[in-house]
Structure 1
Amino acid sequence: MNSYKRNAFTYATIVALGGFVFGLDAAVISGTTKFITQEFNLTALQIGTAVSAPGFGVLFALPLAGIFSNKFGRKKVLIGIAAIYLMSAVLSALATNFYGLVAARFLGGLAFSSLSLASMYIGEIAPPEWRGKLVSMNQINIVVGLSTAYFVNYLILQLAGSGAGWVQSIGLDVNTWRFMLGSEILPALLWLILLFFIPESPSWLVYKGRNTEAAVVLEKIYDKAEIPAQIEEMKESIASSISSEDKQSIGSQLKEMFSSRYSKIVIIGATIAIAQQVSGINAILFYAPTVFEQLGGGTDTAFMQSIYTGLVGIFFTVLGLLLIDKIGRRPITIWGLAWTALSLFICAYGFSQARYTLTPEHITEIKQENLIDTSKLQSLVGVEFDSDTAFKAALVKTIGEKDTRDYSSALIQKAGVISAGLILFGILSFIAAFHFSIGPVMWVLFSEIFPISLRGIAIPTFAFVTSISSLLVQFFFPWQLENMGATTVFASYAIMVLIGFIILYFYLIETKNMSIEEIQQKLIKE
């Protein structure tokens, strides 16, 4: 690897570290839901609010991220985002009530715009033949962060129950969820420090007319002989998409982006942005232990199975990264969506076959474990329920909403006769399909399909679309699971993914090994 590629790789690695912080921030909450539910006596919608609070925050941040990144530069905005991650982690760990926790996580959501800015920055400093790999590094770091969150949560859970003296002395046994949320502090601090060592985006410098500074940056990532041509190409891209006198106007950029000239780009961008999230990926990732507890394995098993999702995600993200520039964006996206839909249908089928029956033996076990007053459960003994929702509804009538929230997972573990292996296979297959295809490819395509002058607005705009989709999935998932049941939830995700598959099959073009200018020629209507 020559020094130019080494520098591009180094800068991309530092910026992509934000993906790790994002993944850690997003998934670490998954291990805390049971603890905060009991500590703050939360309903399903309140749990959805706590988990999805960053999704609300990012809706406010994304429009500003585009404006600020165009005005102040990609580097300065990234540094500000890292500082927000750090503040959110500290405040989340110290939250004393539900509202304080929601506010701290909302603050962290302001930093989630790092994903769009990271892909933008990396796409602008990466040579065309390396762009796919380097932009995808952001996705790799996200899944590494997710996996790390599951592992950290499992480790903290085991330590909290170990009874060790030092564990009790630091309060880990009674403040388990605070240590889980606080695990983000050190990575966020490290990212903040490293960002001071990256250069500003050369594309942004040219956009601002600072061509001399852009040339200095380009000397670090391109051969000197290529720099004049690179600068001219950037100038032409800016000039061709929007007039020079209007290039600073946000309104004119939005008007241009949604004009008929860019209709194909808008259809591709919007479909990918929505399909990625309505697949239900964040329902699985952000509620992983909750989902796996539906399989009847208990808390420790659910936390361990959450680690499996992280490891599968890492493997298939790396595999996708290695193949994205060989296979191409289109086949990975199209057939990855088909694989995703099939996996979700497998999960729906597995849950549809589940049956729930409490036996006298179960009642004896519950009494010995002192879980709940077993006299209230006698009316359910021997009654078979054909869905998790029917079983939970019966529990609400017999033991009340609060005890159902606190103990339903333990009761499902005992009463459920379920194809746990089939559903686990379906979930892991879904994780593999997502991280191999639509997960990383979305950000690669976002870094490629938009012209330079519109990118500062376009990427945050479509990231805004995917964030709204993600927010709705996260917020309603606990309520859906409680009221609609796992079968209906997974089947609905599969159907929505199939709709995305059909649209992209007809509109998505191949973009591998093409310059941004060449991609524009194929997508833009003259």
Structure 2
Amino acid sequence: MQTETVVKMNKSYTVLISLIVALGGFLLGFDSAVISGAVRGITLYFDMTEWMLGFSVGCVVFGAMAGNLLAGPLSDRFGRKRVLILVAALFTISATWSALATGYTEFIIARIIGGIGIGGAILIAPVYIAEIAPPKLRGSLVSFNQLNIVIGISVAYFSNYFLVNMEGEAWRWMLGVEAVPALIYFLALFTVPKSPRWLIQKVNNIALARKILTKIGGESYADATIEEIQRGIDRKEVKGKLSDLLKSKYATIMIIALGIAFFQQITGINAIFYYAPTIFEQAGGSTDSSFLQAIVVGLTNLIFTLVAIWLIDKLGRKPLLLIGTTCMTIALLMATFAFNNASYVFDEATLAKVSDIEIGNALSDLKGTTYSGQAELFEAVETRLDQEQFLAFRRNEITNFIDINATLVLIAILLYVASFAISLGPVMWTLISEIFPSKIKGIAISVVGFFNSLVSFSVTQVFPWELSNLGPTMTFLIYAVFSFCAILFVKRYVIETKGRSLEEVEELLIRK
């Protein structure tokens, strides 16, 4: 009975530490999704073009690239805990400054600062948790970070929904409220211990590492873990370099890491999260209903992330990836089908919805006309409007005329988000935290994180242009093709790491 109590207390302590550190994931998710509600407000306030809007949304990812490059080496030198404290400070500064910004340039700078925080949090939080968690709990505990990301996304959608109708500039409140949890995270991080693996590998403080490990799993667990870490150190050179990543013995590891990092973003997840209300407005929804549907997206993401946490140490990493990417492909093809079969109807009712009187008058001669696709629609409308009016039509008025199976679009988006939440979302970061040897982990996660952010930035930067110029049909079809390629990649390259220690995973991959 006494033994059971001790084990329970030790498990509770490890879970508590992981939850605190994973609050960085909450801020990451909140910061990523909250901009979706502010898109219309910032577009009008800063008088943005499509490319300016794309950059104002995507620049967070641009900042994350810098955070990715800096986080690994800084965490190797100064420790995981200190870097996470810095990350919390950056989130606080970014939220406050972006809410108070009066010029486009300072708004971008504030957003990039938050992006640097994202780049650090998304890499270092799962690494810290992986280094402190026992092997049997590691998959679930590392997934706490992804769980908090999706909780942050859901809370951001709820926050936007309740703030959207505030008088004045609601977008400032949407962005500024993030400062509160960021400050809480900053203070809470001072209560967590340093990573025991970092203490042994980088500063050789075995006594403090033993104390932390004993509190986690008892004396026997501490002795066994320290012995395993030291055995790993004896097999390694002093310090990993960037050039080490090009060595043939790490080829399998880099193929898995870069491939999963690529497919996690190129399949369009951040475009969905950043522009969820915009997508639902493209399907003909009102502003209020679009924000409400975004909340449903966030809740779906949360529920299925919990499913992933339950399954990741039972079913394994690779099966979840295969199931998830297959369902993502199906969902994206459903969205493609829905938008491809949409039509644009000009009648008395739809023309009456146009908010700009001049645009409505210019298009009045189209009454009684129906167009089967965006290309045909734009060709007819462009000849009747000047350049500024045509841009306004594409941004604000096109949704008044669409006739589409909105239920199918909603089902497709929810299936896509649910599938991502049980696969590429949590599993990628779990794999990244597991497959790299300690010698190159710092530099490797920075490179992979930078690459992941680069792909994400490209997707979010181009998405508004894609919707306006290629149309949603072609946009979703492109994502579907990439999602199918992800299935083939996972089947061919990804290995199973379930139940193995970090050292066992290293031996397996380098031997291969």
What is the TM-score normalised by the length of structure 1?
Answer: 0.92
Task: Please name the residue that 2:494 is paired with.
Answer: 508
1:193 is matched with which residue: 187, 190, 195?
A: 187
For the Cα contact (< 8 Å) 2:241–2:443, is it kept in 1? yes
Partners in 1 of 2:442 and 2:100 — Cα distance? 35
1:28 is matched with which residue: 34, 42, 51?
A: 34
Task: Please name the residue that 2:178 is paired with.
Answer: 184
Deviation at 1:376, TM superposition (A): 1.1
SS at match of 2:344: strand
Deviation at 1:255, TM superposition (A): 2.5
Task: Please name the residue that 1:118 is paired with.
Answer: 125
Task: Please name the residue that 2:343 is paired with.
Answer: 355
Task: Please name the residue that 1:428 is paired with.
Answer: 414
Partners in 1 of 2:129 and 2:379 — Cα distance? 50
Partners in 2 of 1:280 and 1:10 — Cα distance? 33
1:521 equivalent to 2:507? Answer: yes
Task: Please name the residue that 1:217 is paired with.
Answer: 212
Task: Please name the residue that 2:3 is paired with.
Answer: none
The letter for the 2-side match of 1:23 is G
Task: Please name the residue that 1:493 is paired with.
Answer: 479
Task: Please name the residue that 1:148 is paired with.
Answer: 155
For the Cα contact (< 8 Å) 2:214–2:221, is it kept in 1? no
More displaced stretch, 256-265 vs 375-384 = 375-384
2:397 is matched with which residue: 411, 419, 428?
A: 411
The letter for the 2-side match of 1:353 is N
Residues paired across the two proteins, number: 504
Q: Cα deviations across residues 370-424 of structure 1 (Å, max 9, x unaligned)?
A: 6555221123323332223543454444344444554546533331111111111
Deviation at 1:457, TM superposition (A): 1.7
Partners in 1 of 2:375 and 2:23 — Cα distance? 40
What is the TM-score normalised by the length of structure 2?
Answer: 0.95
Task: Please name the residue that 1:167 is paired with.
Answer: none
Deviation at 1:71, TM superposition (A): 0.6
1:290 equivalent to 2:278? Answer: yes
The letter for the 1-side match of 2:137 is W
For the Cα contact (< 8 Å) 1:282–1:473, is it kept in 2? yes
Task: Please name the residue that 1:204 is paired with.
Answer: 198
Task: Please name the residue that 2:426 is paired with.
Answer: 440
SS at match of 2:283: coil
For the Cα contact (< 8 Å) 1:293–1:409, is it kept in 2? no
The letter for the 2-side match of 1:227 is A
SS at match of 2:462: helix
Task: Please name the residue that 1:165 is paired with.
Answer: none
For the Cα contact (< 8 Å) 1:260–1:525, is it kept in 2? no
For the Cα contact (< 8 Å) 2:69–2:449, is it kept in 1? no
For the Cα contact (< 8 Å) 1:15–1:122, is it kept in 2? yes
Q: Cα deviations across residues 79-112 of structure 1 (Å, max 9, x unaligned)?
A: 0010000000000000102112111101111101
1:341 is matched with which residue: 303, 308, 329?
A: 329
Deviation at 1:134, TM superposition (A): 0.4
More displaced stretch, 213-222 vs 65-74 = 213-222
2:237 is matched with which residue: 239, 243, 251?
A: 243
Q: Cα deviations across residues 228-279 of structure 1 (Å, max 9, x unaligned)?
A: 2211211222332x313xx2xxxx4322233111111111111110000011
2:296 is matched with which residue: 303, 308, 314?
A: 308
For the Cα contact (< 8 Å) 1:371–1:407, is it kept in 2? no
Where do 5+ consecutive residues of structure 2 fail to align? 1-6
1:94 equivalent to 2:97? Answer: no
For the Cα contact (< 8 Å) 2:395–2:468, is it kept in 1? no
The letter for the 2-side match of 1:205 is L
Measured at CA, do residues 218 and 354 of structure 1 come closer, stay the same or move farther in structure 2, by a change above 3 Å?
A: same
Give identity over the alignment, percent: 39
Measured at CA, do residues 373 and 272 of structure 1 come closer, stay the same or move farther in structure 2, by a change above 3 Å?
A: closer
More displaced stretch, 449-458 vs 196-205 = 449-458
The letter for the 2-side match of 1:333 is L
Q: Cα deviations across residues 347-373 of structure 1 (Å, max 9, x unaligned)?
A: 11111111112113333454xx66555
Deviation at 1:176, TM superposition (A): 0.8
For the Cα contact (< 8 Å) 1:237–1:453, is it kept in 2? no
For the Cα contact (< 8 Å) 1:203–1:452, is it kept in 2? no
Deviation at 1:456, TM superposition (A): 1.5
Partners in 2 of 1:463 and 1:258 — Cα distance? 17
Measured at CA, do residues 103 and 72 of structure 1 come closer, stay the same or move farther in structure 2, by a change above 3 Å?
A: same
The letter for the 1-side match of 2:259 is T
Partners in 2 of 1:41 and 1:393 — Cα distance? 25
Partners in 1 of 2:184 and 2:382 — Cα distance? 47
The letter for the 2-side match of 1:60 is A
2:15 is matched with which residue: 9, 15, 22?
A: 9
Q: Cα deviations across residues 296-338 of structure 1 (Å, max 9, x unaligned)?
A: 0111111111001001000100011111111111100122111
Task: Please name the residue that 1:265 is paired with.
Answer: 253
Partners in 1 of 2:190 and 2:461 — Cα distance? 35
